[in-house]
Amino acid sequence: MASTSTFLLLALTAFPLLCMGAAAFDYPPLVKGLSWTFYKSSCPKAESIRDVGLAAGLLRIHYHDCFVQGCDGSVLLDDSDGEKFAPPNLSLRQSGFNVINDIRNLLQKECGRVVSCADIAALAARDSIFLVEGPDYKVPTGRRDGLTFASRATTLESLPLPSSNATSLITALGKLNLDTNDLVALSGGHSIGIGHCSNFTDRLYPTQDPVMDKTFANNLKRTCPPANTENENVLDIRSPNVFDNKYYVNLMKQQGLFTSDQTLHTDSKTRDLVISFAVDQSLFFEKFAYSVAKMGMLNVLTGSQGEIRANCSIRNPFRADEALSTLVDGDGEAAAF
């Protein structure tokens, strides 16, 4: 099985260029001519270019995978006219799907066909969050890839709408045994990434949502003139490129993008949690790590319940042969073949 560091290394190859947050280590005195801030004015992005959009795309793929019939890689399947092509999944990033397949191919070379696509999606989400300065949480592995996918109708039912209020979000997540803490912590996933105008213009037109900061609303109206559904806005206006707790600060300032975001602060059932995360990033990271692990274990398939795909976008063609050739050892890990 690929170790965490091996996986991270593989994942890094999929990111154009990155800069890991420097830990609080001791360093030797700098030689003349070098500086910790050499490009600060001439090229401020030199140390921070990383593909935040890809990171957001990978996190959202993992979420959409898990919420719809469990974390079984079914959202990755191209050979369906269902799940992947249901409306909420049409805005998942193709670059995310490509990276998951790239990683699968690298892991195939490294260890044979032993790592499932569902595990790759979970691990890629973890590494994405870490690369944009979020928590470095642990992911248990051993998921198998599903043999089925959900219908469009089931997919629509399983993913809450951005127009949802807190009560309906609590009900929706409750069906998955996720509680109010999980709802508020997981919504922090909106610390990175973008939303298309179509998902929030109902808050601007014909009447502006009263629970929206005026300047924020005016800026959104400029980005999303009436009838424009293609444009997009960052989900976290304070720090769109970093996974941090500023998303919750936005909510306190009535600068949440979707109704489903802002409602977490408006509703007394979730408000205290929002405030506690807004004032304490470590607490948010701790709770996010817990809840994302819970999400990552939703209805997983293990052992003979699923397969390990040779291509994350397509179910394996010869299921009967694979059942014979996949040996499962005492640790529950498939032997390489």
Question: Max alpha carbon distance in the chain (Å)?
Answer: 66
* Site for ligand HEM contains 56 (CB under 6 A): yes
- Smallest gap from Cβ 132 to ligand HEM, in A, equals 10
CB 173 within 8 A of CB 166: no
- Of 113 and 270, CB closest to ligand HEM: 270
Size of the site for ligand HEM (CB under 6 A): 26
- Please report the DSSP string for 172-226 in residue order: HHHTTT--HHHHHHHHGGGGSSEEEGGGTGGGTSSS--SSS-HHHHHHHHHHS-T
Q: What angle do CA 250, 186, 12 make, to 5 degrees?
A: 95
Q: Please identify which residue in 194, 224, 237, 249 interacts with ligand HEM, judged by CB under 6 A.
A: 194
Please give the helix or strand (H or E) that residue 243 lies within, else none. Answer: none
Question: CB-based contacts of 38: which residues, under 8 Å, 6+ apart?
Answer: none
* 64 flagged as catalytic: yes
* Site for ligand HEM contains 262 (CB under 6 A): no
132 is in an annotated binding site: no
Binding mask 18-47 for ligand HEM (x = CB under 6 A): ------------------------------
Q: How far apart are CA 19 and CA 241, in angstroms?
A: 13
**Candidates 51-59, 71-79, 216-224, 265-273 — which segment interacts with ligand HEM by CB under 6 A?**
51-59
**Candidates 154-162, 204-212, 279-287, 306-314 — which segment interacts with ligand HEM by CB under 6 A?**
154-162
226 is in an annotated binding site: no
Q: How far apart are CA 74 and CA 312, in angstroms?
A: 9
- Smallest gap from Cβ 160 to ligand HEM, in A, equals 4
Question: CB-based contacts of 5: which residues, under 8 Å, 6+ apart?
Answer: none
- Smallest gap from Cβ 230 to ligand HEM, in A, equals 10
Amino acid identity for residue 12 in this structure: L
Give the footprint of ligand HEM on residues 66-125 (CB under 6 A): 91, 93
Q: How far apart are CA 94 and CA 284, in angstroms?
A: 29
196 is in an annotated binding site: no
- Smallest gap from Cβ 56 to ligand HEM, in A, equals 4
Which residue ranges make up the site for ligand HEM (CB under 6 A)? 53, 56-57, 59-60, 63, 91, 93, 160-162, 164, 169, 186-187, 189-190, 192-196, 199, 235, 258, 260
Which residues are identified as catalytic? 64
